[in-house]
Amino acid sequence: MSLDFDMGARAGELRARLRELITAELPERFPGAFTDDPDDLAAAQRFCRVLAEQDLLCMSWPQEFGGAAASVWEQTVVREEMWAHHEPRGAQYMGVNWVGPIIMRHGTEEQQRRHLPPIAAGEVIWCQGFSEPESGSDLASLRTTARRDGADGWVINGQKIWTSYATMAQWCFLLVRTTKIGEGAVTRKQQGLSIFLVPMDDPAITVRPLGTMMGPHHLNEVFFDDLRVTDADLLGELDAGWSIVADVMAFERVGIARYARCERLLAAAPNALGARWDDLPGELTARWVRMLTHCRRARLMAYRVVALQAGGRITPGDAAAYRIAVTRLDQESAEVLMELAAEAPDEPSAQWFRAEVDDHWRYSQAATVSSGSIEMQRILLSRALLAAPR
C-alpha cells in the first residue's frame, strides 16, 4: 500500500471551503462548545446545521441516510479541519463519526429511520454509556443490568461514569448486561451484553456533572433507576453487544484527528513568538522540529488506518497502533507548546496562541485514558503482533 499526504485537488478545495465557513460562521477565536458560556454551544449547534445544509456534516454517509456519498478521504479532511479549529461541531462528531455508522450496520430499519436523519441534520447530540466506576479498561465487567419485564420490556438499573456530553445529549448509546455469566450459554464476561438506544430526558435517568480542568460537559456520572425500555430500543442481537463494541472502538479510535490541532499550533508558534523565536534555546527548537515530524508520522498512520477501514480490513491492532502514536503526540506536543507559549510576548497578537495552547494542554491530559487507556492499546497491539503470521 502506497500512501502520502496528497489527497488531490478536490480535498484542497474542500479544506479551503471549510476554513472559509469557520471564519464566516463562528465567532472570532471560537473557544469550542464546552465552556461555561451557553452561547458557545449555541454557536456550535448553528454551525452543525450550516454544515448539514451544505452536505458537509456527514459527507461519507450514503445518500439514503442523509449523507453525500463522498469518499472517506473527504470525510478525513472534515475531521482534520474540525479538530484543528477547536471542533466547532461540538459533541456532534460522536454521532457523525461512529453512532450513525454503527446504527447503519446493526440497527433495524425503524431505528435507522428514527435516528439517522436527525444526526445527518445536525440536530441531535449523543453520549456513550460504557465505563463504570469499577469497569473502565475492563469494560466487560460492567454491572449495569437490564432485566426482562413483560413480553417485550426491560428495566435497566446501574451507573455510568466519565460520560462526556451527558448534560447536553438527547440520546445515550448504552451498554448493559442482559444475561448473567453462568446463565444459559453465557460462560464469559464478554457474552451476555447488549446495547440499548435510550432517551436522556427520561425521568429515570439522573446526570451529575464531574468538575475537571477540561471544563464543563466533558465528564459526568449517569444513574439509571428502573429505566424502562423495550425490544425496539435494542441495537443488534440480544446478548451480542460485545461485537458491536468492537466496531465502535474501531470507528471511535480513528475518528478524532488529534494530529491536526497539534500541527496547526506548532506551525503557528514562530509567528506568535515573533522576534523572540530566534533567541530560543536550541534544545527547545529541536524538540519543536521533532514534534512536527511526529505530527506527520501520526497523520500517515491515520491515513493507513482510514484506507484499511474503507476496505473493511481494519483490526484492533491497527487502530491501537495509531491511537498510541497520536495520544502520545497530543501530550508531548502540549508540553513543548507550553514552553513556547511561556516565551510569547505579552501582546494581543500572541494572546490567542497562549489561550489555545492552554486549552490544548488541559485537554491532552486525558488523551491516554479516554476511549481506552494507552495501556490497553499496548495490550491490543501486542496481541495483534504476537498473533501475526511469522
74 is catalytic: no
DSSP state of 158: E
DSSP, residue by residue, 191-241: SSEEEEEEETT-TTEEEEE---TT-TTS-EEEEEEEEEEEGGGEESSTTBH
| Catalytic site residue from 74, 80, 81, 252 | 252
Strand (E) or helix (H) holding 46: helix 38-53
**356-360, long-range: CB < 8 A, 24+ apart:** 356/86, 356/265, 357/265, 359/31, 359/32, 359/86, 360/261, 360/262, 360/265, 360/333, 360/334
Nearest CA among 76, 48, 30 for reference residue 306: 76
> Cα–Cα distance between 167 and 217 in angstroms, integer?
6
Which three three-digit cell numbers place residue 157? 438499573
Write out the catalytic residue numbers: 252
